[in-house]
Amino acid sequence: MPLEDAHGRLVSDLRVSVTDRCNFRCRYCMPAEGMPWIPREEILSFEEIERLVRMLVGLGVRDVRLTGGEPLVRREFPALVGRLRAIDGIEDLSLTTNGYLLGAQAADLVAAGIDRVNVSIDSLARGRFFEITRRDALDRVMAGLDAIASFPQVSPVKVNAVPMPGFGRDDVLRFCALARERGFQVRFIEFMPLDGDRSWRSEEVLTGAEVRTMIEEVHPLAERPREPHSTARVFDFADGRGEIGFVNPVSEPFCADCNRLRLTADGKLRTCLFSLHETDLRDPLRAGADDAELGRIVRDAVWRKELKHRIDEPGFRPPARTMSAIGG
């Protein structure tokens, strides 16, 4: 029986956060300093992650994305990729990373069997990149992007950008060049109220439509039909050179056919990015629960999956965890 919620949505996509730690401090995600880390003994081991992912694949999960925090700061991370690759039934095994350690790990990740990689890059201008990530690391991240792109078996390579206030025409055109000249699939993601500083304001969200307007002043775009469960609206450049996409959770929520589930680094199941309630899998697992028992807990949690997020609606409350601790 597939994993289904009370609104008739089938869940088949799992995001696994492997750590809440990070070597960057992006403004829209973490405070400049002072983020409390989850104590190490509370973090799932590779064996525990593998066990839970295998159980979830048995319930119908097909796509698994590894994220964090920054997944590549977790020691021996490629070994986890290898363990998950060996699970029968995973159709797509992917990774989201800030790219800082990708140059060093790309070959090992490919050897371990990663299918796809998304690299987060919020500006292609060094100064602005520093302002947003609080790290002067654009060159190193671009080298990481090149390293992973040199493996044709990892495809597509996507670039995620969160356009923050001040993002202008020059930024947009640099990303268009990356998409058109290098063939990367650039995705602009709207800033969501999951920042560590709790300073999100709807006025600060540069919407996908606004970014699209900036692009279309220079490059006409033609929209592709939306794929089921896709979070992105994808457009081809009208001249046939490259594509670009927009993930618009704030201005155009896509909750109606959401098929996602998240597992935090400390073993909590979250049925929505904005869940106010989590379901613990770690304690039952450590207490010796078998797959049938864990499966019952998961089915029950999925059944109660939130109908939609309520960003910017009256009474909206952000979750206690912020993005780096949830797993984006």
The residues binding ligand SF4 (CB under 6 A) are 22, 24-26, 29-30, 68-70, 98, 120, 323-324
**Tokens linked to 85:** 């690759």
Asked whether the CA dihedral 73, 78, 83, 85 is positive or negative, the reply is: positive
What does 195 interact with, of ligand SAM, ligand SF4, none (CB < 5 to 8 A by kind)?
ligand SAM
CB 157 within 8 A of CB 117: yes
What does 67 interact with, of ligand SF4, ligand SAM, none (CB < 5 to 8 A by kind)?
ligand SAM
Cis omega (within 30 of 0) for bond into 2? no
Distance in Å, CB of 69 to ligand SF4, minimum: 5
User: Among candidates 302, 307, 303, which has minimal Cα distance to 254?
Assistant: 307
Distance in Å, CB of 314 to ligand SAM, minimum: 21
120 binds ligand SAM (CB under 6 A): yes
Token pair 């910017």 in the structure block, residue: 312
CA distance 51 to 217: 50
Region near ligand SAM per CB under 6 A, out of 64-72, 85-93, 106-114, 255-263: 64-72
Which residue, 59 or 137, is less far from ligand SAM as judged by CB? 137
CA distance 70 to 227: 28
User: Sheet of 221-223: strands edge to edge?
Assistant: 221-223, 232-237, 243-247, 185-189, 157-161, 116-120, 92-97, 63-67, 13-17, 260-263, 268-270, 279-280
Distance in Å, CB of 300 to ligand SAM, minimum: 27
Q: What angle do CA 237, 242, 247 make, to 5 degrees?
A: 75
97 binds ligand SAM (CB under 6 A): yes
**Tokens linked to 221:** 């775009």
Region near ligand SAM per CB under 6 A, out of 90-98, 178-186, 233-241, 251-259: 90-98
98 binds ligand SAM (CB under 6 A): yes
Distance in Å, CB of 160 to ligand SF4, minimum: 9
211 binds ligand SAM (CB under 6 A): no
The DSSP result for 309-324, as a single string, is --TTSTT----SS-HH
Q: Which of 59, 81, 258, 323 binds ligand SAM (CB under 6 A)?
A: 323
Binding mask 70-89 for ligand SAM (x = CB under 6 A): x-------------------
What residues does 118 pair with on adjacent strands? 96, 158
What does 194 interact with, of ligand SAM, ligand SF4, none (CB < 5 to 8 A by kind)?
ligand SAM
154 binds ligand SAM (CB under 6 A): no
For the beta carbon of residue 189, count every other beta carbon within 10 angstroms. 22
Alpha helices in 75-115 (DSSP H): 77-85, 102-112
Q: Which of 67, 123, 207, 271 binds ligand SAM (CB under 6 A)?
A: 67
57 binds ligand SAM (CB under 6 A): no
Token pair 């602009």 in the structure block, residue: 188
Q: Which of residues 183-202 bind ligand SAM (CB under 6 A)?
A: 189, 191-192, 194-195
CB closest to ligand SAM, residue no: 328
**Tokens linked to 96:** 């989201």
| Interacting residues toward ligand SAM by CB under 6 A | 22, 28-29, 67-68, 70, 96-98, 120, 160, 162, 189, 191-192, 194-195, 323-324, 328
